[in-house]
Amino acid sequence: MMRLYKCLVATVLLVTLAVPALALDLDGARSQGLLGEQADGYVGIVVRPTLELEKLAADVNAKRRAHYEEIAERNDTVPEAVAALAGKKLVEGAPSGQFVKTNGGWTKKP
């Protein structure tokens, strides 16, 4: 009976810990130090990549890329220029405690 109880407790703990990971969004991932802003205008994975983080980063970056392309077309410029300007603003505007990547390395904003 005690063994069954321990197994049940372990299962409940695993499910409880797994649920927040399944509900990960960009804001949550940034505040947890999992994703960070990059100078190129896209998010990057700060920690060891997982499938969930890779998917989230890819989804966010695809939406950003599409948005940068729309802005570039309206302003007769290239998406890379729009992304670079957005990246500068995103890195500068990142709140204290979040990670940003400039000059090749991740740093935590003071």
Q: For residue 80, list its beta bridge partners.
A: none
* pTM of the predicted protein model: 0.77
Instruction: Give the C-alpha separation, 35 to 89, whole Å.
Output: 17
Instruction: Give the C-alpha separation, 65 to 108, whole Å.
Output: 25
Answer whether 100's CB lies under 8 Å from 36's CB: yes
Pick the range with the lowest mean pLDDT from 41-50, 73-82, 96-105. Answer: 96-105
Answer whether 81's CB lies under 8 Å from 69's CB: no
- Of the chain, the percentage scoring pLDDT greater than 70 comes to 79
Q: Which residue has the tokens 């890195």?
A: 91
Task: Indicate the residue type of 90.
Answer: L
Helix H or strand E segment including 40: none
Checking if the pLDDT of 100 tops 60, the result is: yes
